[in-house]
Amino acid sequence: MTSPAADTISVDADRLWRSLMDLAEIGAYDDERTGLRGVNRLALTDADAAGRRRVIAWMEEAGLAVRVDRMGNIYGRREGTDPTAPPVLTGSHIDSVATAGAFDGCLGVLGGIEVVRTLDERGIVTRRPIEVGVFTEEEGVRFGTDMLGSAVAAGRLTLDYAHGLTDRDGRSLGDELARTGFDGPADVCLDPPYAYVECHIEQGPVLAENGVGIGVVTGVQGISWQEITVHGRAAHAGTTPTQLRADAGLAAAEIIVRLRAMVDSGEYGELRATVGHLTVHPDLTNIVPARAELTVDLRNPDDAAMARAEEDLAAFLRELEDARPGLTLTTRRMAGTAYVPFDETVQKVIAGGRRRPRPGAHLPALRRRPRRPGDRGALSHRHDLRPRRARRHQPQPPRVLHARGVRLRSGRPGDDPAAPGRPGLTARDTHLSEGAHVPTDLVHRGRSRPVDC
């Protein structure tokens, strides 16, 4: 690597902010109830396609070579002096939930582009290539499987499976890729990168309330999504005695209460349980529900505790069915991933950054616009966020969960046994804040399992 600075460089936080705000206007809406301005950019909608085209334009302006794979994943590549070396990968997603804020996923993508801009402006050449990725349908809210684009790229799910997924209107992901023009020609199987690192917002209040500016993420929580359908019997609200009803709506309510009791019991570790979707049929005021559909989202950083929770929930569903004549219950697995610990060497590099912003000082423009829906909410949707305790002479975040506005997700180094020497500056978007610095040596040790794709 050649660099005019010895150890660190600074990114242009104002330019990054402008990019974030420009992208946030694509799919923007005003929430009348709260008075906030949010983002609704579900995967492969027209708004998402417009956002993708904007990001591709920024990538090309930054000199990145852009490719789109058959899953619609977008990669912008900056070559290094050794084009055969596994790249350092950064990025995230720009698809959103229906009531999102401006930063979820977008900070990782646009932060990566900003790093590339800064490297170019400083005339810095890296040995390893740098790639900025935009993964398709990472939220999972439209086609029902979260982290979908990255799962296919890593070989965890097949391309045919992903293309066959449908939304609630019956549109398939494959058809929507073709309609929006993002059914790219590139191979979807992603070669293992040397390392992956992502800058992300907290999406929760914990670090902010503890006055901590940046958190180092230690791993991805285990995730379990399932859809439960309760079949009962429609009946007249006025003439059907309570004891003779097979009320699917009541059974759904009992499931929700049971999930909360499981969380509150403490028997399942740091379990989180959410019912984010609930509908009843025929959905009429004076008819006992004949059917109820609900989704269950479980999160846990402990695989054994997650397994116990799933087993006990399944047992409760059987008991509920047996105890209520006329009720039948069916379940459908939507997603399931185990806890994944992140490489400790990457964590140490992030934690050892030279400068950290004061809590609330990063991206000062955060204080210059109304809060958006989703800017602060439930704990991050994927991550186990338990940063290291502060150590004397080596400042690190205390052992709380997140940072206001900025969350760091470190990756596992890729398998590169033949690469000699020290890697050059990598796509570090970990300290994208006013006056903050980017370390010049991301992880250069460690191994990972090869991608099975």
pLDDT digits (tens, 9 = 90+) for 118-177: 999 999 999 999 999 999 999 999 999 989 999 999 999 999 999 999 999 999 999 999
Residue 45 carries which DSSP code? Answer: S
Fold of the 222-337 domain = Alpha-Beta Plaits (3.30.70)
Percentage, residues of the chain above pLDDT 90: 67
- Flag whether pLDDT at 256 surpasses 70: yes
pTM over 0.85: no
User: 53-112: per-residue pLDDT in tens?
Assistant: 999 999 999 999 999 999 999 999 999 999 999 999 999 999 999 999 999 999 999 999
Q: Which residue has the tokens 């991550």?
A: 383
Give the pair of three-digit tokens for residue 352: 């050892």
The residue type of 33 is R
Q: Provide the pLDDT for residue 7.
A: 63
Q: Is 125 helix (H, G, I), strand (E, B) or coil?
A: strand
What are the residue boundaries of the structural domains of the chain, listed by start? 8-217+340-439, 222-337
- Flag whether pLDDT at 3 surpasses 80: no
> Could you tell me which residue, 207 or 377, shows the higher pLDDT?
207
Nearby residues of 191 by Cβ (< 8 Å), 6 or more positions away: 86, 451
User: 310-329: per-residue pLDDT in tens?
Assistant: 999 999 999 999 999 999 99
Q: Residue 28 in contact with residue 373, Cβ under 8 Å?
A: no
Angle between the N-to-C axes of helices 13-24 and 46-61, in degrees from 0 to 180, rounded to the nearest 10: 150
Tell me the mean pLDDT in the region 295-320: 97
Give the pair of three-digit tokens for residue 332: 């459908």
For 8-217+340-439, the fitting CATH number among 3.40.630.10, 2.130.10.10, 1.25.40.20, 1.10.10.10 is 3.40.630.10
Q: Provide the pLDDT for residue 410.
A: 32
Tell me the mean pLDDT in the region 35-49: 96
Q: Provide the pLDDT for residue 212.
A: 85
- Flag whether pLDDT at 36 surpasses 60: yes
Q: Provide the pLDDT for residue 419.
A: 28
| Cα angle, residue 10 at apex, residues 4 and 16 outer, rounded to 5° | 135
Q: Residue 218 in contact with residue 387, Cβ under 8 Å?
A: yes
d(CA 96, CA 103): 10
Nearby residues of 160 by Cβ (< 8 Å), 6 or more positions away: none
Alpha helices in 123-214 (DSSP H): 148-153, 159-164, 173-180, 206-209
Residue 242 carries which DSSP code? Answer: G
> Could you tell me which residue, 136 or 216, shows the higher pLDDT?
136
